[in-house]
């Protein structure tokens, strides 16, 4: 069985490579990256690296030669049309290269009335896959817990979480847990060949008061909850280049669309995911 992973040098992709390499022979793994020079460390670990550009069907076709299963991790662009085009190019390349199995990595903000700017893409992809002659599964991640760690110093300074979601809750999963589940799903054909959809989340979601209390316990600093408006949130983080997009995501959160949890992680891995308190305790240092 030959596996390929796109985005293999990214935060999630690199972790998927690590977990998959613990389950199968490294010779069965091919990583597909836009800039192979950034993946020298993978070659040093005897993992194959191929150049592949989502915007170039020919390069993706070449990269997918002799691959049985593709783990597709999309790019980070907030442009819906670009994301759809990248997926369509990849599907064309899979057809040309005769790749018949796919794990599509997605996000749980895919509801029809979700105002998140990327929701149309996440809603489109599984419907598109349903009409193809593929063995596939869709993995929908909850919010990544990892960005909370570098965010803690700002929250300590503010003494408050400011997410504009009101009384609604947020669900999380760590990148490490997500990667483990994706890798283990790849090696269990019965769980990924019939269009199954999995939601990777921790066992419970958290109100902002609950999250603040956990953060206070972990850091030893008082962190409460004082939400700003969606407009204020977009303005505060516009310097990071994604303030407006993040605000649209939390708009969905304010509608209760970022709170869903499931037991799918345990179904795939056989054990429970890391809870938010343990995750913060293991990763935060004052």
Three-class secondary structure of residue 117 per DSSP = coil
pLDDT score at 164: 98
258/69 Cα distance (integer angstroms):
30
In a domain, 15, yes or no: yes
- In the predicted model, what is the mean pLDDT of the chain? 97
In a domain, 265, yes or no: yes
The per-residue pLDDT for range 191-216, each reduced to its tens digit, is: 999 999 999 999 999 999 999 999 99
pLDDT score at 213: 98
Residues 6+ apart with CB under 8 A from 242: 78
Place of tokens 């110093």: 153
Query: At residue 188, does pLDDT exceed 90?
Result: yes
CB 195 within 8 A of CB 136: yes
**pTM given for the model:** 0.97
Q: What percent of the chain has pLDDT over 70?
A: 100
In a domain, 283, yes or no: no
Q: For residue 103, what is the domain's CATH number?
A: 3.40.50.720
* DSSP output for 166-199: TT-EE-EE-HHHHHHHHHHHHT-GGGTSS-EEEE
For the segment 103-116, the average pLDDT, to the nearest whole number, is: 98
Among 235, 226, 124, 176, which residue's Cα sits nearest to residue 16? 176
Query: At residue 4, does pLDDT exceed 90?
Result: yes
pLDDT score at 240: 86
In a domain, 215, yes or no: no
Q: How many domains in the chain?
A: 1
Please give the torsion angle defined by the CA atoms of residues 81, 83, 202 and 32, in that order, rounded to the nearest 10 degrees.
180
258/111 Cα distance (integer angstroms):
10
Q: List Cβ<8 Å contacts ≥24 apart for 239-242.
A: 242/78
In a domain, 115, yes or no: yes
Query: At residue 88, does pLDDT exceed 90?
Result: yes
In a domain, 56, yes or no: yes
Q: What percent of the chain has pLDDT over 90?
A: 96
In a domain, 129, yes or no: yes
Three-class secondary structure of residue 122 per DSSP = helix
Among 143, 191, 172, 178, which residue's Cα sits nearest to residue 16? 178
The per-residue pLDDT for range 225-251, each reduced to its tens digit, is: 999 999 999 999 999 889 999 999 999
Among 88, 143, 95, which residue's Cα sits nearest to residue 121? 88
The per-residue pLDDT for range 11-64, each reduced to its tens digit, is: 999 999 999 999 999 999 999 999 998 898 998 899 999 999 999 999 999 999
pLDDT score at 183: 98
Domain interval for residue 179:
3-141+175-200+261-273
In a domain, 108, yes or no: yes
101/86 Cα distance (integer angstroms):
18
48/36 Cα distance (integer angstroms):
10
pLDDT score at 286: 78
The tokens for 152 are 């803690």
pLDDT score at 38: 87
């Amino acid at each position: 069985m030959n596996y390929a992973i796109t985005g293999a040098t990214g935060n999630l992709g690199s972790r998927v490579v690590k977990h998959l390499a613990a389950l199968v022979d490294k010779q069965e793994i091919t990583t597909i990256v836009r800039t192979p020079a950034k993946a020298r460390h993978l070659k040093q670990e005897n993992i194959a690296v191929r150049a592949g550009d989502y915007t170039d069907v020919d390069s993706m076709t070449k990269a997918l030669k002799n691959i049985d299963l593709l783990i597709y991790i999309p790019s980070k662009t907030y442009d819906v049309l670009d994301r759809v085009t990248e997926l369509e190019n990849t599907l064309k390349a899979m057809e040309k290269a005769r790749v018949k199995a796919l794990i599509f990595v997605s996000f749980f903000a895919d509801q029809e009335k979700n105002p998140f700017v990327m929701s149309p893409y996440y809603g489109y992809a599984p419907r598109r896959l349903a009409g193809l002659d593929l063995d596939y599964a869709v993995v929908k991640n909850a919010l990544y817990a990892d960005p909370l760690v570098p965010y803690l110093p700002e929250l300590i300074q503010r003494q408050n979480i400011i997410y504009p979601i009101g009384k609604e809750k947020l669900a999380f999963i760590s990148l490490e847990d997500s990667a483990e589940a994706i890798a283990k799903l790849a090696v269990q054909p019965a769980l990924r060949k019939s269009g199954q959809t999995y939601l990777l989340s921790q066992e419970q979601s958290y109100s902002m008061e609950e999250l603040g209390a956990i953060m206070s316990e972990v850091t030893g600093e008082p962190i409460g909850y004082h939400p700003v408006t969606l407009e204020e949130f977009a303005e505060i983080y516009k310097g990071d280049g994604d303030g407006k997009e993040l605000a649209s995501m939390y708009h969905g959160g304010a509608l209760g669309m970022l709170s869903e949890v499931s037991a799918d992680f345990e179904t795939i891995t056989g054990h429970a995911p890391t809870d938010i308190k343990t995750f913060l305790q293991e990763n935060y240092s004052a």
